[in-house]
């Protein structure tokens, strides 16, 4: 597990970190609320161990931050204190703490509590996998039409659905291209669920989020003792997807050295775990996706031409939202129906005139950006009707089409945003700069971060905060 330790006792924090590393976990240390909150902004943790009394606040603030900064899965939290009280324990549990320990705590006790949490998270992951497999079985049995998830009746979407029904039944590799947020993962899942492999696993690999040094272990797994901290055999994504589908998201980010090994898997249908010399046969279908121009990357020597040919037996282009004007009425209402269920609100409505205004916008973040805008408006609007002032608050047509390079843009922007306040104006500027950087780099987060002169982790955090996604396509 990835664990954050927050304690102002530096020697104790180091001792806990050393113990956790010996147990096979990855631990970070912070000595204050501010440091802990910063690390929570930069990374997702499975577990947070925090002291109650800290120099600049208390552990309850860390618990609150862990809830706010979490990704798809909330981290477990253990509160540690030498000032134990029933009141503190109740407050901690109410905020979401998993456990409460009074100092001094033995390392054996730490180990026992952490093992319990690790086992619980493992069981949760297994349950999620089983649920996904059950959903696939239902779709494969005809109880659900996966194409209905791809909302729209425009010509481009109709042609996309027709192509999916032709391509999905065959074992050939598929390359899905399109802009960030256009819905490439949804198309990939449709390929899987419409195929004879629907009852098997669908394993998504986000190639942009894997450090280069960990690529091989992530895809192919490793044997016990293959390297430091390899305390047990680990099955990689290809073995996990046996008799199912591997979805290589953002495949354009795969390092050149790894591309050769990926090509071998495509050719030989087998992998070799790190630390082993014995090949393992894998029966998987590979579906890849990218928002980058792989042909240009081939010309620049950044992507192998033979790998591109292997991946693109079938090439499926997902159209951007701006080319789907006719789909806006159906798409908006479908998204609002889903949001009403997710938010626990009554059915939501949107006027035809407001839909037309939305259709006139550019939506550089595509369907994902539209969904985020609708969600914001659904939360803020009173009653069932989505209010334009909230929906268009930071996604105005003029913003979507503004040219920061034109003369007088800055002055005009200041004048237009005086009434909205500095915070909102800065958020809008931040959003536009990030979108512009992503467009310039073809969606490559690392290069966009360089242009913006911020760390990649900060870019991912800011994208998440602004509703521009987390590196997913």
- Ordered by start, the domain boundaries in the chain are 2-119, 146-319, 321-358+368-396, 402-473
Local mean pLDDT, 10-residue blocks, the chain (473 residues): 86 85 85 86 80 82 70 70 62 68 75 79 65 51 63 92 93 94 93 93 91 88 76 86 94 93 92 88 95 93 94 94 93 91 86 90 90 88 81 50 40 46 68 81 82 81 74 43
Distance of alpha carbon 315 from alpha carbon 246, whole angstroms: 16
**What is the per-residue pLDDT for 212?**
86
**What is the per-residue pLDDT for 95?**
64
**What is the per-residue pLDDT for 396?**
41
Which CATH architecture describes the domain 402-473?
A: Orthogonal Bundle (1.10)
Tell me if the domain spanning 2-119 has CATH number 3.40.50.2300: yes
Predicted structure pTM score: 0.56
Q: Do domains 146-319 and 321-358+368-396 have the same CATH topology?
A: no
301-322 in b/e form (b: 16+ CB < 10 A) is eebbeebbebbbebebbbbbbe
**What is the per-residue pLDDT for 413?**
43
Distance of alpha carbon 384 from alpha carbon 378, whole angstroms: 8
What are φ and ψ of residue 31, in 5° steps? -105, 5
Q: Which CATH number fits domain 321-358+368-396: 1.25.40, 1.10.8, 2.50.20, 2.60.40?
A: 1.10.8
**What is the per-residue pLDDT for 437?**
83
Distance of alpha carbon 327 from alpha carbon 154, whole angstroms: 6
Q: Which CATH number fits domain 146-319: 3.10.420.10, 3.30.70.2390, 3.30.450.20, 3.40.50.300?
A: 3.40.50.300
Q: What single DSSP character describes residue 74?
A: P
**What is the per-residue pLDDT for 178?**
93
What are φ and ψ of residue 29, in 5° steps? -125, 140
Which residues does 429 contact at the CB level (< 8 Å), separation at least 6?
413
**What is the per-residue pLDDT for 415?**
46
204 sits in which H/E element: strand 202-206
**What is the per-residue pLDDT for 431?**
80
CB 291 within 8 A of CB 179: yes
């Amino acid at each position: 597990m990835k664990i954050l330790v927050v304690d102002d006792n530096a020697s104790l924090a180091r001792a806990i970190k050393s113990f956790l590393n010996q147990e096979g976990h990855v631990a970070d240390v912070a000595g204050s609320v501010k440091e802990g909150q910063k690390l929570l902004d930069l990374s997702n943790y499975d577990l947070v161990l925090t002291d109650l009394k800290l120099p600049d606040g208390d552990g309850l603030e860390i618990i609150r931050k862990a809830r706010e900064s979490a990704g798809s899965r909330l981290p477990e939290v253990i509160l540690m204190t030498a000032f134990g009280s029933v009141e503190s324990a109740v407050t901690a549990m109410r905020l979401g703490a998993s456990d409460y320990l009074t100092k001094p705590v033995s390392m054996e006790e730490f180990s026992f509590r952490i093992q319990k949490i690790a086992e619980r998270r493992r069981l949760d992951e297994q349950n999620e996998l089983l649920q996904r497999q059950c959903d696939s079985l239902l779709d494969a049995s005809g109880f659900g039409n996966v194409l209905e998830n791809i909302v729209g009746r425009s010509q481009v979407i109709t042609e996309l659905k027709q192509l999916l029904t032709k391509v999905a039944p065959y074992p050939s590799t598929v390359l899905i291209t399109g802009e960030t947020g256009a819905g490439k993962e949804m198309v990939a899942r449709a390929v899987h669920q419409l195929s004879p492999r629907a009852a098997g696993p669908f394993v998504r690999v986000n190639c942009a989020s894997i450090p280069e040094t960990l690529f091989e272990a992530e895809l192919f797994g490793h044997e016990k003792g293959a390297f430091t901290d390899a305390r047990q055999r680990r099955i990689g994504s290809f073995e996990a997807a046996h008799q199912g589908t591997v979805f290589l998201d953002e495949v354009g980010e795969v390092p050149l050295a790894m591309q050769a090994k990926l090509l071998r898997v495509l050719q030989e249908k087998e992998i070799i775990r790190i630390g082993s010399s014995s090949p393992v046969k894998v029966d998987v279908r590979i579906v890849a996706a990218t928002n980058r121009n792989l042909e240009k990357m081939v010309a620049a020597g950044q992507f192998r031409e033979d790998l591109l040919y292997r991946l693109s037996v079938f090439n499926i282009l997902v159209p951007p939202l701006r080319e789907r004007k006719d789909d806006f009425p159906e798409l908006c209402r479908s998204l609002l129906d889903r949001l009403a269920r997710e938010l626990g609100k009554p059915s939501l409505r949107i006027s035809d005139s407001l839909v037309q205004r939305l259709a006139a916008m550019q939506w550089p973040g595509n369907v994902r950006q539209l969904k985020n805008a609708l969600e914001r408006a659904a939360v803020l609007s009173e009653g069932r009707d989505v209010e334009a002032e909230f929906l268009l608050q930071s996604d105005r047509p003029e913003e979507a089409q503004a040219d920061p390079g034109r003369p007088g843009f800055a002055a005009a922007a200041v004048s237009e945003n005086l009434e909205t306040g500095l915070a909102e104006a800065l958020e809008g500027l931040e959003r536009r700069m990030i979108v512009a950087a992503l467009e310039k780099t073809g969606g490559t987060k690392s290069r966009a971060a360089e242009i913006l002169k911020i760390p990649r982790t900060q870019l991912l955090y800011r994208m998440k905060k602004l509703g521009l996604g987390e590196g997913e396509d």
